């Protein structure tokens, strides 16, 4: 069906040459997030022809942050990739709370993966399906198509792999609280955000009907948010802005009945942030009439009430009537990942355990990254004997300064906690560690001294947070490893294998924290940047705008998000119930 009119051609050529347009938008997206920029890797132009037999089949599960950043950066023609995910798009999750109130549109924060993945030199196939089982023994995954229309019932199929990359993210965690699944909204997927938006309007429309008692109106207009983490707080703030900026004008009769409550089991909201941010947020919410109830744990949710138990106060139980509840408390494991974990003896964990090269423990050809995985950092102290043995080249039982210096770099590279410890103590290198313990650098070191010096760094071991930042850095890291798989086979670039021969093929994954935002509503954002640099207010809001604009996965979503913001400034948010 060829169809090429003049205008079509004009428009499509315009699209191809849209780089001019980028200039326009660059003005709006001042650097700021440039360093965390998510830029397309241009496929190498030499179209390397690789014999089919030489190719390895990589199966990637998921199209979220981890999978997408892996795919964008993968560039090695030796791989044939098949991506399986129930979503044929990538969703920019940090803007999901904005979608709940129509500050940006759902469609502006998603990009079809078929636009993102195609490469000049890597064969990529996409299947819109969910993985339902991993059979690592036979190197197969079982999948099921997701469309539930009249087409053909649900399709199931199996896919073979040479290498499997698991990046399926996480589930909502209800901590098995009764009634949550039935009665609460979640804020994890694009559909969730759209449903929340519709329900907010629903509550306002419903409370406007005739023949409803004042008490009932109050209940309907009570919005309860469970979980005082960044998502819960941002949603509370966004909802407050939506209500006060737009809805009160349209529903003047009921505006005084609206109540927003934020329930948090801990002592403070935003507890992972700097204390100044927490205090500012709590104070701001209080002034605005958002009721922050800390120390109250939700124990049950019915269709009209939330039951809470005070963490102190002798565990007092109370019931709060509500109209809409949003559950936003931590993440859990997807069922098929749980199954896989019990198969491989990791049944009692929250996430797939990997080594520092993101390989699932016990497998050479299964990688896991993003929210569904957690890196099992190795303690230095477990390896002290091996390190000592490797370093002590002349088997003298003590290390000379030179011997120690020769392994210092490898230690630094192999164990990220060393770097964290040094940073924390504002030291510049491992030698400073020795000085701290008054170990004489001129003398020879014995194993006990080495143990004393190094074991303290293990206190700095942390699990990486389940964030887009971690997931996307892992994706980029893994793609770079895959791109240089053959090169590094010959010339390994990793640290010394203390417990084996030679060097590791790659450097282990290292996370670089670039800071964190907490939008607090009213065009104010809190930003906590590396070095505990804290900034709160309108300027951080503009930083937030520019970082989030610059981090968009494509020029299309970038333009859409920026025009959405502009539309919102000019026209306010839409309250149509669609």
Ligand X SMILES: Cc1cc2nc3c(=O)[nH]c(=O)nc-3n(C[C@H](O)[C@H](O)[C@H](O)COP(=O)(O)OP(=O)(O)OC[C@H]3O[C@@H](n4cnc5c(N)ncnc54)[C@H](O)[C@@H]3O)c2cc1C
Query: Least Å distance between CB 22 and its own copies?
Result: 11
- Chain residues 163-182 in contact with its own copies, contact rule CB under 8 A: 182
* Residue 59 interface partner, choices its own copies, ligand X, none, CB cut-off 5-8 Å depending on type: none
Query: Least Å distance between CB 97 and its own copies?
Result: 17
Tokens for 402, please give them: 């030179």
Query: Least Å distance between CB 292 and ligand X?
Result: 19
One residue of 111, 264, 305, 371 binding its own copies per CB under 8 A: 111
Tokens for 556, please give them: 């299309």
Token pair 């500012």 is at which residue? 280
Whole-number Å distance between alpha carbons of 300 and 305: 8
Whole-number Å distance between alpha carbons of 429 and 435: 10
One residue of 149, 312, 394, 438 binding its own copies per CB under 8 A: 149
Query: Least Å distance between CB 428 and ligand X?
Result: 29
The region that residue 176 occupies, defined by phi over 0 for left and psi between -120 and 50 for alpha, beta otherwise, is left
* Residue 191 interface partner, choices its own copies, ligand X, none, CB cut-off 5-8 Å depending on type: its own copies
SS3 category, 355: coil
* Residue 169 interface partner, choices its own copies, ligand X, none, CB cut-off 5-8 Å depending on type: ligand X
Query: Which residue number, 87 or 284, has a Cβ lying nearer to ligand X?
Result: 87
Token pair 């392994």 is at which residue? 407
Query: Least Å distance between CB 241 and its own copies?
Result: 7
- Chain residues 303-342 in contact with its own copies, contact rule CB under 8 A: 303-304, 323
User: What is residue 348's DSSP assignment?
Assistant: T
277 touches its own copies (CB under 8 A): no
Contacting range for its own copies; rule: CB under 8 A; set: 147-155, 311-319, 360-368, 483-491? 147-155
CA angle at residue 431 from 428 to 434, to 5 degrees? Answer: 120
Query: Which residue number, 260 or 471, has a Cβ lying nearer to its own copies?
Result: 260
Whole-number Å distance between alpha carbons of 262 and 267: 12
User: Exposed, middle or buried, 314 (CB in 10 Å: 0-12/13-18/19+)?
Assistant: exposed
1 touches its own copies (CB under 8 A): yes
Query: Least Å distance between CB 578 and ligand X?
Result: 12
Start-to-end CA span in the chain (Å): 34
Q: 324 forms bridges with which residues in the sheet? A: 223
Query: Which residue number, 141 or 430, has a Cβ lying nearer to its own copies?
Result: 141
Q: Note the residue count of the chain.
A: 578
Positive or negative, the CA dihedral 282, 331, 96, 184 is negative
Per-residue contact flags (x/-) with its own copies for residues 180 to 219, judged by CB under 8 A? --xx------xx--x----x-xxx-xx-xxxxx---x---
Query: Which residue number, 56 or 338, has a Cβ lying nearer to its own copies?
Result: 56
Query: Least Å distance between CB 524 and its own copies?
Result: 7
């Amino acid at each position: 069906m060829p169809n090429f009119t003049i205008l079509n051609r004009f428009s499509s050529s315009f699209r191809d040459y849209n780089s001019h347009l980028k200039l326009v938008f660059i003005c709006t997206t001042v650097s700021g997030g440039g360093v965390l920029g998510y830029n397309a890797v241009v496929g190498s132009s030499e179209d390397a022809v690789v014999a089919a037999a030489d190719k390895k089949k990589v199966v990637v599960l998921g199209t979220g942050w981890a999978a997408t950043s892996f795919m964008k950066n993968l560039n090695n023609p030796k791989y044939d990739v098949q991506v399986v995910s129930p979503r044929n798009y990538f969703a920019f999750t940090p803007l999901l709370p904005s979608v709940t109130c129509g500050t940006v549109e759902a469609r502006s924060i998603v990009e079809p993966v078929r636009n993102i993945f195609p490469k000049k030199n890597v064969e990529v196939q996409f299947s819109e399906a969910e993985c339902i089982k991993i059979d690592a023994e036979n190197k197969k995954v079982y999948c099921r198509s997701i469309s539930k229309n009249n087409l053909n019932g649900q399709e199931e199929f199996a896919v073979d792999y040479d290498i499997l990359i698991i990046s399926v993210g996480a589930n909502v965690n209800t901590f098995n609280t009764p009634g949550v699944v039935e009665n609460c909204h979640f804020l994890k997927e694009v559909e969730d955000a759209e449903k929340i938006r519709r329900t907010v309007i629903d509550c306002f429309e419903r409370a406007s009907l005739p023949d409803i008692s004042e008490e009932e109106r109050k209940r309907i207009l009570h919005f309860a948010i469970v979980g005082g983490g960044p998502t819960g707080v941002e949603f509370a703030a966004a909802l407050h802005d939506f209500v006060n900026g737009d809805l009160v004008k349209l529903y003047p009769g009921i505006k005084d009945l609206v109540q927003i409550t934020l329930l948090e089991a801990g002592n403070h909201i935003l507890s992972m942030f700097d204390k100044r941010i927490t205090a500012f947020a709590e104070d701001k919410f209080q002034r605005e009439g958002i009721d922050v109830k800390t120390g109250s744990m939700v124990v049950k949710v019915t269709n009209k009430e939330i039951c809470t138990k005070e963490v102190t106060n002798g565990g007092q139980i109370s019931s709060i009537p509500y109209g809409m509840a949003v559950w936003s408390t931590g993440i859990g494991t997807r069922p098929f990942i749980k199954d896989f974990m019990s198969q491989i003896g990791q049944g009692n964990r929250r996430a797939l355990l990997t080594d520092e090269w993101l390989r699932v423990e016990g497998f050479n050809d299964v990688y896991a990254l993003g929210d569904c995985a957690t890196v099992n950092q190795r303690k230095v102290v477990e390896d002290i004997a091996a390190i000592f043995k490797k370093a002590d080249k002349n088997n003298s039982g003590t290390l000379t300064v030179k011997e120690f210096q020769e392994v210092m770099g490898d230690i630094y590279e192999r164990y990220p906690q060393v770097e964290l410890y040094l940073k924390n103590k504002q030291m510049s290198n491992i030698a400073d560690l020795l000085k701290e313990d008054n170990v004489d650098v001129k003398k020879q070191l014995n194993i006990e001294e080495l143990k004393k010096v190094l074991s303290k760094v293990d206190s700095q071991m942390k699990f990486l947070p389940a964030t887009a930042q971690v997931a996307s850095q892992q994706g980029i890291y893994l793609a770079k490893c895959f791109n240089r798989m053959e090169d590094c086979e010959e010339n390994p670039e990793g640290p010394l294998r203390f417990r084996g021969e030679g060097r590791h093929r790659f450097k282990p994954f290292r996370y670089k924290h670039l800071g964190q935002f907490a939008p607090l509503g009213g065009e104010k954002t809190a930003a906590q940047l590396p070095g505990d640099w804290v900034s709160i207010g309108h300027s951080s809001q503009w930083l937030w705008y520019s970082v989030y604009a610059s981090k968009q996965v494509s020029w299309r979503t970038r333009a859409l998000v920026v025009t959405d913001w502009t539309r919102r400034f000019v026209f306010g948010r839409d309250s149509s119930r669609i």
